[in-house]
């Protein structure tokens, strides 16, 4: 039993990191596609973290109502949702406004230099 997981590391990896983070990244992507702010993706992690907690409880006999493990799941899922949101937003900005902005790495964009012409 660790600080991040309660039953086993493999259960934590499968449920939280693989299944939960995949759903969180898709949620972040969906909120970005809808041009919604990033905090809305984090709000959607509240029920997703509860669902991940329930899967740990139902399949691996974990604790359902554990504030510590719920908070760990929520933080990890929120980070994944914010990552999915940011990657999608950078792609949106650089494709939709290609005349005005250009990619500046994977996580940001910058204004194009108008003196290049």
Asked, for residue 32, whether it belongs to a domain, the answer is: no
Asked, for residue 25, whether it belongs to a domain, the answer is: no
Asked, for residue 91, whether it belongs to a domain, the answer is: yes
pLDDT in tens, 17-71: 999 999 999 999 999 999 999 999 999 999 999 999 999 999 988 888 889 999 9
99 within 8 A of 111, measured Cβ to Cβ: no
Residue of 47, 106, 41, 102 lying closest to 73 (CA atoms): 47
Q: What's this model's pTM, rounded to 2 decimal places? A: 0.86
Asked, for residue 93, whether it belongs to a domain, the answer is: yes
The size of the chain, in residues, is 117
Asked, for residue 33, whether it belongs to a domain, the answer is: no
Q: Count up the domains in the chain and report the number.
A: 1
Query: At 12, is the pLDDT very low, low, confident or very high (cuts 50, 70, 90)?
Result: confident
- Give residue 105's domain range: 1-7+40-111
């Amino acid at each position: 039993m660790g600080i991040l997981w309660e039953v086993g590391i493999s259960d934590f990896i499968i449920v939280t990191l693989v299944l939960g983070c995949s759903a969180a990244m898709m949620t972040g992507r969906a909120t970005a596609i809808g041009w919604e702010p990033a905090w809305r993706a984090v709000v959607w992690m509240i029920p997703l973290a509860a669902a991940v907690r329930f899967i740990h409880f139902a399949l691996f006999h974990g604790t359902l109502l554990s504030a510590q493990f719920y908070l760990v799941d929520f933080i990890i899922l929120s980070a994944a949702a914010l990552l999915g949101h940011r990657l999608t937003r950078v792609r949106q900005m650089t494709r939709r406004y290609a005349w005005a902005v250009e990619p500046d790495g994977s996580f940001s964009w910058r204004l194009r230099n108008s003196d290049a012409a």
